[in-house]
Structure 1
């Protein structure tokens, strides 16, 4: 259903450092960088058929995370959930909500972690045991 997700960054180099570390846990490599006609830099991380992008705002206004939005990254194991969380926090992210771990609910068991990136975007790591 989804082709890509793009978020804004107020400091593209700080975001690149953060997401290189965090998405590296999931197996993503270095992003492709693109500078558009008006000078904004965009980074494109491609992995397993998905693209996650970071962009300097093209309207010149400050970055504001969307209230109520969450970006979820699929993880392979409970251990990868913990690693994703720990790497995010070690690289400038902020841990939010409950500690990483198993959650039981109406959608079945899930391992989850939640953190914000340096710009305040809410990120989730999710693993559904098979």
Structure 2
């Protein structure tokens, strides 16, 4: 259903440095880059949704929408933990430490929330965090 997601940045080099290690851990690689935009996904499979970070095309500064979030589904709770730590070490801000959220999402949903250096909200989620790899 989703072809790609795009978030704005005011510093493309900073965004690339933040997202490169996250996508590397998820097994995704840079697909395209120029002075306006950088994207990650699977270069060999265009059916895999891509993620873009870019300077807004209208020339105005990037701004964050309240309530907007991109969630990356990963296979294990351990992956959620690792991605959270990578994001925080890379300049991200905590919006919700890794853990289960049974009161809202059931007893298997394991998730962490962060904001990238531009303030875009991200989540790393495992839908069956109680299973073992």
Q: TM-score normalised by the shorter chain: which range applies?
A: 0.7 to 0.9
Q: Provide the residue aligned with 2:49 in structure 1.
A: 50
**1:73-114 CA distances to partner (integer Å, 9 max, x unpaired)?**
0111000000000000000000113x2012214643200000
TM-score by length of structure 1 reads 0.88
Distance in 2, matches of 1:31 and 1:100, equals 29
Q: Which runs of 5+ in 1 are unaligned?
A: 36-40
C-alpha distance in structure 1 between counterparts of 2:120 and 2:104, whole Å: 26
Residue 34 of structure 1 and its aligned partner are, at CA, apart by 3.5
1:112 corresponds in structure 2 to 111
- After the TM superposition, which parts of structure 1 deviate over 4 Å for at least 4 consecutive aligned residues? none
SS of the residue corresponding to residue 29 of structure 2 reads coil
TM-superposed deviation, 1:52: 0.4
* Secondary structure, counterpart of 1:96 in structure 2: strand
User: What is the aligned residue count?
Assistant: 124
Question: Does the 8 Å CA contact 2:30/2:38 hold for their aligned counterparts?
Answer: no
Gaps of 5+ in 2: none
Aligned to 2:9: 9
Offset, 1:31: 3.8
- The aligned counterpart of 2:18 is 18
CA distance in 2, matches of 1:127, 1:114: 12
> TM-score, normalising length from structure 2?
0.86
Q: For 2:21, what is the secondary structure of its paired residue?
A: helix
1:38 corresponds to: none
